[in-house]
């Protein structure tokens, strides 16, 4: 028997949460109700009251209610709910969480869920689940189920949706992953244009006894990788594909934010860094490319993805940025430069081959890094087996060097 947290505004959505709670109990699980409402009295008796949630955010609930500001109330509960939920998980009092809501309820529920570790069961039934959910999911594994109709009473549609949602969270807590052999983790960044390199390096690292988790460098992938590094679970970073910085700088659609490439440096995790795919900025279909880029060098990756070649000026700035991020490192780090191509399509004879742009990138990167940081230049393309081997070997050497330093 598991305990499932039912979190939500038990005043405006109490009936719906009570329906889900009853279904969970009927399945044989316990329910722990967390109230984040701020209007009327709760319709479902909570185990964790709204006063406790507000207090977790350092907010005086009486003063909050007196101001009658809904936005402020949602913000307060969005701050307190993560604290409460994370504490319950740390104390092993709950095994999963489900929430139902509209705009405010979704903001509160997903804020709480984002505070929980990857792998912990999380279900959010939301009126906003059919649109762009990036701001709600973040880099966590939150399952969002479209409410279809508003969460405003029980009817022939909502009963079906809520019943399936209750079944989903029950199934998630019942099917517990079987622990495998725990190996130290290495994370790697990959794009289609660096796949061969990463896969070759991955095999070498796995043969050395590591589990390699690969993240697709699509913005969300980079943020997820950084988040895992920050968690302290990672032993090494194979950051071959730093392309998200091209989108961040130039204005593409796959930027990962201004802190990309900082987690390993700040956490003290050994790493290797390469300028993989910094030759390209990502946009959607051709008609989505901003007019200001007219006349640039474009490559149709597929009907939904249009790539734009970075210029020498942009590459100079990208080199400076990457050097600044690498310079934050407190653990061993090595920069590797494949001088013949930084992606499949920047190789000689390919659409994005631009020696001047690559030279600008390499020069800025080499001149910007600290003097004590190793820079390895190789006369090959990024997907050459020898480059992949060098990346893997340098990372293993950095991990070993870091272990020796920690032991003394």
224-246 tens-digit pLDDT: 999 999 988 899 999 999 999 99
What percentage of the chain carries pLDDT values higher than 90? Answer: 87
Q: Is the pLDDT of residue 179 over 80?
A: no
> Please, are residues 81 and 97 in contact by the beta-carbon 8 Å criterion?
no
The CATH number of 185-407 is 3.40.50.12030
Measured CA to CA, the distance from residue 372 to residue 367 in angstroms comes to: 12
Domain boundaries, the chain: 3-174, 185-407
3-174 and 185-407, same CATH topology: yes
pLDDT on residue 177: 81
> Please, are residues 337 and 275 in contact by the beta-carbon 8 Å criterion?
yes
Measured CA to CA, the distance from residue 182 to residue 377 in angstroms comes to: 35
Please name the residue that has the structure tokens 């549609």.
157
pLDDT on residue 203: 98
The CA R_g of the chain, rounded to the nearest whole Å, is 25
Checking DSSP bridges between strand 298-302 and strand 305-309, what pairing results, if any? antiparallel
pLDDT on residue 176: 85
Q: Nearest CA to 197 among 362, 343, 369?
A: 343
Q: What's the pTM value of the predicted model, to 2 decimals? A: 0.79
pLDDT on residue 286: 94
> Please, are residues 27 and 169 in contact by the beta-carbon 8 Å criterion?
no
Q: Which CATH number fits domain 3-174: 3.30.70.1380, 3.40.50.1370, 3.40.50.12020, 3.40.190.80?
A: 3.40.50.12020
Helix (H, G, I), strand (E, B) or coil at 116: coil
Q: Is the pLDDT of residue 71 over 90?
A: no
Q: Is the pLDDT of residue 67 over 90?
A: no
* pLDDT tens-digit readout, 40-63: 899 999 999 999 999 999 988 888
> Please, are residues 48 and 37 in contact by the beta-carbon 8 Å criterion?
no
What burial class does residue 339 get, using C-beta atoms within 10 Å of its C-beta: 0-12 exposed, 13-18 middle, 19+ buried? middle
Measured CA to CA, the distance from residue 227 to residue 153 in angstroms comes to: 38
| DSSP annotation of 311 | P
pLDDT on residue 134: 86
């Amino acid at each position: 028997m598991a305990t499932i947290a039912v979190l939500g505004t038990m005043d405006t959505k109490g009936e719906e949460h009570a329906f889900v709670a009853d279904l969970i109990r009927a399945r044989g699980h316990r329910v722990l109700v967390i109230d984040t409402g701020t209007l009327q009295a709760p319709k479902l008796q909570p185990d964790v009251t709204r006063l406790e949630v507000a207090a977790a955010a350092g907010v005086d609930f009486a003063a909050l209610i007196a101001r009658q500001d809904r936005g402020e109330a949602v913000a307060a509960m969005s701050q307190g709910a993560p604290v409460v939920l994370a504490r319950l998980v740390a104390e092993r009092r709950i095994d999963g969480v489900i929430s139902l809501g509209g705009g405010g309820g979704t903001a509160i529920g997903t804020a709480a869920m984002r505070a929980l570790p990857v792998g912990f069961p999380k279900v959010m039934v939301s009126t906003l689940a059919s649109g762009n959910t990036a701001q709600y999911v973040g880099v966590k594994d939150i399952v969002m189920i479209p409410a279809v109709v508003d969460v405003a009473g029980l009817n022939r549609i909502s009963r079906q949706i809520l019943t399936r949602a209750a079944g989903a969270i029950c199934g998630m807590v019942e099917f517990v992953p079987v622990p495998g052999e725990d190996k130290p983790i290495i994370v790697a960044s990959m794009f289609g244009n660096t796949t061969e390199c990463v896969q070759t390096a991955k095999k070498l690292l796995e043969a050395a006894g590591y589990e390699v988790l690969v993240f697709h460098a699509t913005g969300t992938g980079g943020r997820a990788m950084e988040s895992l590094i920050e968690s302290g679970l990672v032993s090494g970073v194979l950051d071959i594909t730093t392309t998200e910085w091209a989108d961040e700088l130039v204005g593409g659609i796959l930027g990962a934010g201004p802190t990309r490439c900082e987690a390993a440096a700040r956490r003290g995790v050994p790493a290797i860094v390469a300028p993989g795919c910094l030759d390209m900025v990502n946009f959607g279909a051709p008609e989505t490319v901003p007019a200001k880029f007219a006349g640039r060098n474009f490559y149709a990756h597929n009907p939904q993805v249009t790539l734009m070649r970075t210029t020498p000026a942009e590459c100079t700035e990208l080199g400076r940025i990457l050097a600044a991020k690498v310079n934050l490192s407190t653990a061993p780090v090595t920069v590797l430069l494949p001088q013949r191509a930084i992606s499949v399509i920047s190789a000689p004879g390919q659409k994005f081959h631009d020696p001047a742009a690559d030279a600008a990138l390499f020069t800025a990167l080499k001149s910007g890094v600290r003097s004590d940081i190793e820079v390895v230049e190789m006369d090959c393309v990024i997907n050459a087996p020898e480059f992949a081997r060098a990346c893997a070997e340098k990372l293993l050497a950095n991990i070993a060097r870091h272990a020796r330093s920690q032991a003394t």
